[in-house]
Amino acid sequence: MTKPTLLTTATTTVLDGKSVLVTGGTGSFGKAFVQRALSSKARKVIVFSRDEQKHYEMERTISDRRMRYFVGDIRDRDRLQNAFRDVDIVVHAAAMKHVPICEYNPIEAVQTNVNGARNVIEAAMSCGVERVLALSTDKAVSPANLYGATKLCMEKLLIAANAYAGDRTTRFSCVRYGNVMGSAGSVIPLFRAQQKRGQITITDRRMTRFWIEMSEAVALVLRGIDLMNGGEIFIPKLPTSDIETLAEAVAPGVPRSQVGIRPGEKLHETLVSVEEARRTSDLGDVLVIWPEFQFHQTLQGVRPGIPVPDGFVYSSDCAEPRLDLDATRAMVDRVA
C-alpha cells in the first residue's frame, strides 16, 4: 500500500467559496500559493505585500477577476484591518528571513516578525477571519539566531491567540518546515551563480539541512488549513542532505572552499525537539505538535494519529531519508 504524502492528501477544496488573503503574497511562497489557490473555487484571492514593484509584476502575469492586491506592511495594523474585511482565510507568509540581515538589523526583524504577527492576530480577530495559518521554520526550534528567535515568538503568539480569541470564531495554527529549494535566498541559486565563476563556497562540510519543494510547501499549508482546529503546528516529513553533497549535485567537479559557519548558523536543524515530541503525533503524511493547553475545547481532548516514540527528535543529522548524491541531483534538477 502506498504511503500518503502531502502531494496526494492536500487539496484546494478547503478554499472553495472562501476569500483568501496571503501576507507576503508577492514572495516566492506567496506567488506559488496564489497560483494553486486560483485553481480552486475560491471566491477571492488577495495579495498583501509592501513591495510595489512586485505587485506590478504580479498583476502583469496573473489575469483573474478574483485577484485583489493590497500594498501594505504587516507593521501597520490599520492597513491590515482594511485588508482583512470579508476575508475567511489568512495565510501569514510575510517575514524578514535572511539570517545575517536579521542579526545586523534586530529591531527591524522584531518589528516585522513579532510585532507584525501581533497585528495579524488582532486584525484577524477584529474582522472575524475564520482561520489564520502562519509559516514558520526549523530555525525556530532551540534558536541560535535572531531570525529563529523571532519565529519562535511568532509561533508562541499564534498558538496563544486561540485563548485570546475567546468565543470568536477565529482560529490560529502554524506550519513549520525546512529550506525551500530554489526560493529567494536559497543556497541552490547561489551555487549555480558560483558555478559560472568556477568556485563554490560552503560553510562547513558537516552541515545538514531539511529540504522541501515549493509544491510541497504549498500542499502543507493547504493540509494545515484543512486539518486545523486551533493551536497545532504541522510538520512535513522531509529528506535531508549534507551541504557538500548538495554542492556536488548542483555544480559537479567545481572546486569548493570551506569558509566557516556564519554568525547564528547551526550545523544541523531540528523540526521537532525532544520536549515537543511528548505532544507530537504522526498522521501519516504530516507530524502534528498539539498545543500544551486546551483552547475552549477546540480539540476536545482528542489527539488523532500515532504518538511518536519516547525520546523522538526530528533533526537533519539523523532524519530519514538522507539523500545520496544521485537522489540529491534528482531533487536539484526539479528546481527551475
Span 251-272, pLDDT tens digits: 999 999 999 888 788 999 999 9
Average pLDDT over residues 21-37: 96
C-alpha cell at 169: 470564531
Q: Is the pLDDT of residue 298 over 60?
A: no
- 165 Cα distance to chain centroid: 23
CATH class of domain segment(s) 6-180+212-237+271-315:
alpha beta
Residues 30-40: tens digit of each pLDDT: 999 999 999 99
Q: Which residues contact 302 (CB under 8 A, 6 or more apart)?
A: none
pLDDT band at 146 (very low <50, low <70, confident <90, very high): very high
Helix (H, G, I), strand (E, B) or coil at 90: strand
pLDDT digits (tens, 9 = 90+) for 75-125: 999 999 999 999 999 999 999 998 889 999 999 999 999 999 999 999 999
Look at 156-165, 199-208, 258-267, 276-285 and tell me which has the smallest mean pLDDT.
Answer: 258-267
- Amino acid at residue number 29: F
Name the H helices within the chain: 6-9, 28-37, 52-61, 77-83, 99-104, 106-110, 116-127, 146-164, 187-197, 214-227, 243-250, 274-277, 325-333
Task: Identify whether the C-beta of residue 50 lies closer than 8 Å to the C-beta of residue 70.
Answer: no
Q: Is 107 exposed, middle or buried (0-12, 13-18, 19+ CB in 10 A)?
A: exposed
Mean pLDDT for all residues in the chain: 92
pLDDT of residue 309 exceeding 80, the answer is yes
179-180, strands of its sheet edge to edge = 179-180, 208-212, 240-242
For residue 199, pLDDT beyond 70: yes
Q: All 3 cell numbers of residue 272?
A: 521537532
**b/e burial code for range 192-228 (CB count within 10 A of at least 16 → b):** eebbeeeebebebeebbbbbbbbebbbbbbbbbbbbb
Packing angle of the helix pair 187-197, 243-250 (nearest 10 deg): 50
Nearest Cα residue to 106 out of 80, 52, 143? 143
Q: Please name the amino acid found at residue 166.
A: G
- How high is the pLDDT of residue 301? 63
Q: Is 139 known to be catalytic?
A: yes
Q: Between 167 and 14, whose confidence is greater?
A: 14
What is the chain's alpha carbon radius of gyration, rounded to the nearest angstrom?
Answer: 20
Over residues 49-88, the pLDDT tens digits come to: 999 999 999 999 998 999 999 999 999 999 999 999 999 9
Q: With 90 as the cut, is the pLDDT of residue 279 above it?
A: yes
Selected catalytic residue, list 31, 97, 139, 237: 139
Q: Pick from 254, 203, 116, 62: which is nearest to 46 by CA? A: 62
Q: Is the pLDDT of residue 299 over 80?
A: no
Q: How far is it, in rounded angstroms, from Cα 15 to Cα 33?
A: 12
Q: Is 322 exposed, middle or buried (0-12, 13-18, 19+ CB in 10 A)?
A: middle
Task: Report the percentage of the chain scoring pLDDT > 70.
Answer: 96
Q: What share of the chain is helix, strand, coil (3-state, %, to 5)?
A: 40, 20, 40
pLDDT for position 303: 80
Position 230 scores a pLDDT of 93
Q: Is 160 exposed, middle or buried (0-12, 13-18, 19+ CB in 10 A)?
A: middle
pLDDT band of residue 297 (cuts 50, 70, 90) is low
Please check the confidence at residue 287 and state whether its pLDDT lies above 90.
Answer: yes
